[in-house]
Structures are given as C-alpha cells and as structure tokens.
Structure 1
C-alpha cells in the first residue's frame, strides 16, 4: 500500500537581507516545498538554474527529483524530511525581478540588485531559522544547486552533517561563462527585452528561447544528440532559412519555447550572472584555502561528458580535501547524458547517496 506523503508549500518572509554587494533587499520572501514528517531530520535540496522549489512535487506534477526522493527511496522519506527553496532571484514566488519593489510599488525588473550564490545561501539560512530548523542532516544539489551546497559548507560549516555537491566545480570556468554570455546576449538583443522593462503580455520570447537552446546544447553530450536524432529530417532539404528541416532543430525549438511559458527572462539573466560569480575562493585567498573551511563529510558526484562542470575539476577539490584528512568521496557516473546526468538515470547514482546517508543515519 502506498504511504501518503505530507507535503507543505508556501512562502517565508525573512525581512531585510543585506547582500554581498552591501545593498539591502527589504521584505525578502522565499517560496518553499517541505515534504515528509516534520519530526524527522531535515535534508535541504538546492535546485538548478531553471528549477523550482518543487523537487518532489505531487502525483499530478512530479518534481525533478521525484524518482530520487520518496518513501523507501534513495532519499527515504521514512527517515528524513526534505525541504527546498526557490532561490533568491528566481521567478516562482521567491523575491526576484518579478517581485514588487516596495519603494516604487512596481516590479523590480532590472532595478533588482545583482545577487551571488552566497546571497542565495544566506537567504535560505535565514528562512530555515524562521521555521525552526536548526540543523540539517545534509545539503544536496546539482549544478547551480551544487554551487549552493559548496557555499553552505563554507559559510555555515556546522549547520549540517554532510554535503553532496553534484555536477559542479569549485568555480565556474571560462568555457561555461562563455556560453552564459551567449545566452545573455540572446536576451539582451531581443527588442522586446526593452532594457528589462517588458510586460508579461509582451515578453522577449525569442531571446529567452534562444538562450535556452544554447543551454540545452551544453547540458547533454554530442553522442547522445547524434544517437537520438541521427540526422533525421523533418522537411525537405533546401527550405527557407527560418524553416525547420531536421528533428534536432525541432527539438531545440520546442525546448526553447517551453521555457518561455514558465520562466522570466530577467530572472534568467540574474541567475546566469550569479553563476558567473561562482568561485568558492573569491575574496577568500583562492579555492584551496576556502575549501579548508569545510569541516563535514563531503560526497561529490560528477558525470562523464559534462561540458560545463568537468569531473576532473570536481575530483581535484575532493583530492585536495582528502590530503587535509577530510572525510571525502568522489564518484563519476558513466553516462551519455553529460551534465544532465543529475536529472536522469537515478538507478546509476541514487544508491551512492542512499549509502552515505545510511552511514550518517547509523552514526546517530
């Protein structure tokens, strides 16, 4: 018999938030999903670029990690509760460019201040304090979520028992920043962006769609694209430039338009910029020195063929921590999905998380 899962959603107001830039955001809110019994130890899940707080979701709308988290699952809701926040700067009820600026009574849009990964983590810390979660069993997340995990380990090293940074590196490399720049320019050069002052009835759909297409190309491996589409034609060769001739074009067009139905272009820009700033060593004397602040076990997972976050760079972080006698493990998942490996094929890597959590559980 299937066990019913307790799931709460809502918004937490944390009040004023002083950003890393020194600017103060008033009346900050973070939207959340909280799943499982509130009497159980808590695991914080941090989402990726276009993710939301709905990591588990419900039967009608499963979350992006619904196949990882559940009763008897790799992250077992019989043992843990799971909480996730929509990031600061997001567009799913958390304070971001779509939010009303209390000083003007209008949406912030590009008057929203620039934010960093550290700002996101600080906001989540304050939100947890508000709802009375004083300690976390673990913090876990992939990509942008993995960036948050690393910052959690440095900024609040005693808040959790373990860290699970997935599909991430200690800093965003220039190759990834280059793709972010192309995506950013796609939006900025859409006439409808209008310096960020667009209405929800007339959004820069073309620019955001193109930005998403750029991202999709980097999220998966060339082998997977070639295997899936195999130069399959959709129309005759020699059609007009704007017409779709191959299935791969149709796929990218679909994915681009799909995102425009649920994501804000300004929010996309702010989150891309936040990712660009990701460097755990920034203003901390370099990433190796910054990593020394991590005191709890760190269990990293990388994915073969990840163009944006090479496994070699994540492994280097792990090896550095191991030299300093930190409890650290690294697993590389063999996959044709590349970076998107953290969203699929849970049977290949979910058990590794389950094993590490079981060891933590048995220690208490």
Structure 2
C-alpha cells in the first residue's frame, strides 16, 4: 500500500519542479521485475475530477516516453467539460512512470541506503513495474476499479499491461494508441542510436554528472533528441513544413526560445597548434571556416537544434537512457507462456499473442496513425486482430508518430464516442462539488505558441 504525501519527498529534483500541481505518494517497498527492491519509492501523479460513490468512474491516462503526469500540458484539448476526459463525469488519474525525471523514483531521487542520488545505479524498471506502482497509489486513493486505461506510444504499452497486471475485471476498457505488443528491432535500433549519442559525450562521465540542465551531457542529449524527432515525424511533414527554406531570423516572440545553437563539447585548441597550422598554409583559417559551417543553414536544421536545446532544459540524460531501455524490454508475451509452447509455435506468434491478450477486456479501441514510421500501422493491425472484438481506427495525419499528440480533434472524437458507448451511466449525472484542477485546464490548450513543456505542438 502507498502512503499519500503532502509534498514532494525529493525537493532537490529540479525537473520535478517543472510540473505544477503534482501530488505524491510513497511505497515502502516496491519489488521490481529485476528482483531489486526500491525502498521508500516515490510516485508523482495528478488527478482531475472526483470518485463517484462506487469508486469506479476512473480513467487512467498513461503518458508517453518524455511526457509527464500533467495531461493538461500535452493532451489539454482532450481534457475538460464536454471533452474526452471530462472531470464532471470521471476521476482522471495520470502518474509519472518510474525512471522519468518528473517526480517518481528515478536516477534523480535519493537512494535511502546512501543518501545520494541513484544516478546510473538506479535499478532498471519495466512497464509492468510502472503498473504495479501506480496501482498501489490507486488503492491508497480508494479506487475500486478502473473504467478505462488510455495511452499512446510508451503509454500504449502501459495501457496493454494494465489489465494483464491486475485482477480480471479491474480494468473494463482499454484504448492503446500508436503502440505495439512489443518494441520492434526498428524501434530498438533507433533507441540504441540515441543512447550512443549520450554515451559519446565526455560530460556523461558514466552517469555521474550534476543532474541539472547546466551540468548534464547536453551535447549528447540534444543530439539524441534530434535523432528521436526524425522518428516521431515523417518525411512528408518535414518537407512540407521546412523544404529547403533558409534558417529563419530570430524575431521577437512572447514565448522565450532557447538559443538555436546545438550545445557542443568544447575541445580547446592549444595556441601552439594554431601557430603551427598557420605556418603550414593557414590551416587555422580553414578551421574557422569549418566551425562557421556547423551553424544551421536550413530551417530544418534550425528546428532540430531548437528541439535539442529545449529538451536539455527539461529532461535528464540518465532518465532518458533508463526509459528507452524500458521501452526496448517491452513484450506483453514475455513470461506469460510456457517455453515449450513458444518453441513449438509456428508463424509470427499471433496465436501466442492472442492467448496472452485474452486476459484484456473485450472491445478495445486500437488507434493507429497512417504515416507512423516508428510504430507501424501494421503493428496496431496485429493488436486489433489479437484483442477480442477490438476496433481499429486510423488517424489521418501527415505528421507521423506524433500524430497522436497533434490530431486532437480526431482523437478526442474517437475516445469520447468509445467512453459514451461503454459507460453511459457516468454521463447521466454530474459530480457535485470541486472537480479538481479544472481551473488549470481552462484556457490552456496545446495550440501553437502555447508553451507546452512536454507536448509536441510547436510554433517554431
């Protein structure tokens, strides 16, 4: 059982302070899939709305890789009166995953055994560990059952695990979005490329760096984010948005932009080396020309530099390594079938997947993005084929994987229609009293220029 807290048990965590209005709980001992035990394990979360008398009007929202517990930051057009996530009818819960920098146990939290931050010694967690930890918090809040679990990308992985890690019937509906039953070789390879960017930065120092924006391996982390952005969007969206336009000029803006120059690891050049180069034909002048060419010439380059620098200001490198490894390990069938059955199976394993997903509630809504190149639409088709009585819906978008964070109107309509069909009883009355942090939602929609911390809408 978790104990609900009045304040953040790790106030020194800079990144957790970026998420406003979080609540906290602590789990005395959380045993992980790895066999390690996290003592005094904190969990950060946010809620909107109220529990009904039967304590079962619960929506669990699962955030993506670099998202947070603040649904109003990255899915705000879906949250509010008359929208998909309506606090007048539902108790909405979103918790920060283990390993993320935003307040739950992670490399940034203090190891109670040493009194120091875990850093790279933080034990590896899994998506299933996240579900168990968040279930402890729901128990502490008095939740009896969950109406629906909803999430995209890594959040979709978590969505699939919720009914498999809890008692039959505890979760009554699921909506996995832009996700898969396991992380593909393609996804693993992109993640490894990003990790190598971080490892190659000398400031990484095996993970023992100052865990603040100015202290971490910023060049490596920014480069990793740039690589990731290419997997989140599509060729069509980049060509349409940037083409071969030159790097834009800075202009006055209401939203403060980080500088566009990609942080680099400085390599000092000794004066003697410069003098020697000049003696052999002015090499130093040529070096200056090379350095100038590192600056963005095209708008697409400038956008990637902007994304890299913005990310350095809001995310931690050790946490990024941890969560990408967590995604790589995701496989809903792992440990849920006998070895001889796996060895004796033929084909692509759909019979095994169908057997495992039989524990999920029937009638799932699986959502795909038509141009997704990271989690291919074929992966959602496979899920829909293996989930009992599932429906597959496709978001029309040229923006690739990030379409689930950008196509608010399409997605909101799909989710709202699904919830109204499955749970008409919750729409017959309005919950009395305060419905949570609605004041935090009103007027905050993730539109271009809104200044979202973790969302993917950009006015750049």
Please say whether Structure 1 and Structure 2 have the same fold, judged by a TM-score greater than 0.5.
yes
Q: Does 1:244 align with 2:296?
A: yes
Q: Which has the higher strand share?
A: 1
Q: TM-score, normalised by structure 2?
A: 0.73
Superposition CA RMSD, Å: 1.8
Tell me, yes or no, if the aligned pair for 2:172 and 2:361 is still in contact at 8 Å.
no
Name the residue aligned to 1:230. 243
3-state SS of paired residue (2:423): helix
Answer whether contact 1:99 1:108 (CA < 8 A) is retained: yes
Is 1:114–2:124 an aligned residue pair? yes
- 1:84 is matched with which residue? 94
1:33-182 aligned within 5 A: 33-39=46-52, 41-56=57-72, 63-156=73-166, 157-182=168-193
Distance in 2 (alpha carbons) for counterparts of 1:8 and 1:225: 35
Q: Give the drift of 1:291.
A: 1.4
Aligned equivalent of 2:383, options 296, 317, 324? 317
- Between structure 1 and structure 2, the one with the greater Rg is 2
Query: Which of 182, 204, 207 pairs up with 1:193?
Result: 204
Q: Partners in 1 of 2:87 and 2:111 — Cα distance?
A: 38
Which structure 1 segments of 5+ residues have no match? Answer: 1-6, 57-62
SS of residue paired to 2:191: helix
Higher relative contact order (CA 8 A, sep 6+): 2
Greater displacement, 199-208 / 36-45: 36-45
Give the superposition deviation at 1:90: 1.0
Distance 1:310 1:240 in 2: 39
Corresponding residue number in structure 1 for 2:415: 353
Shift of 1:8: 6.1
Residue 302 of structure 1 aligns to a residue in which SS? Answer: strand
Task: State the SS of the aligned residue for 1:332.
Answer: strand
Q: Give the distance between the partners of 2:48 and 2:362, measured in 1 at CA.
A: 24
Structure 1, 347-356 or 220-229: larger mean CA deviation = 347-356
1:302 corresponds to 2:302: no
Using the alignment, how far apart are the partners of 1:333 and 1:211 within structure 2?
27
Q: Distance in 2 between matches of 1:246 and 1:27?
A: 49
Distance 1:111 1:349 in 2: 39
Higher alpha-carbon deviation: 333-342 or 267-276: 333-342
- Write the distance in 2 (CA, Å) between the matches of 1:155 and 1:249: 43
Aligned pair in 2 of structure 1 residues 13, 238: CA closer, same or farther (>3 Å)?
A: closer
Please state how far the C-alpha of 1:273 moved relative to its aligned partner: 0.1
Tell me how many residue pairs correspond in the alignment.
347
Alpha-carbon separation, structure 2, partners of 1:256 and 1:37 = 38
1:331-346 equivalence runs, <5 A = 331-346=393-408
CA distance in 2 between partners of 1:203 and 1:175 (Å): 28
Q: Aligned-pair distance for 1:239? A: 8.0
1:46–1:139 Cα contact (<8 Å) kept? yes
Q: CA deviation at 1:238?
A: 9.1
Q: Distance in 1 between matches of 2:246 and 2:154?
A: 35
- How much has 1:281 moved relative to structure 2? 1.1
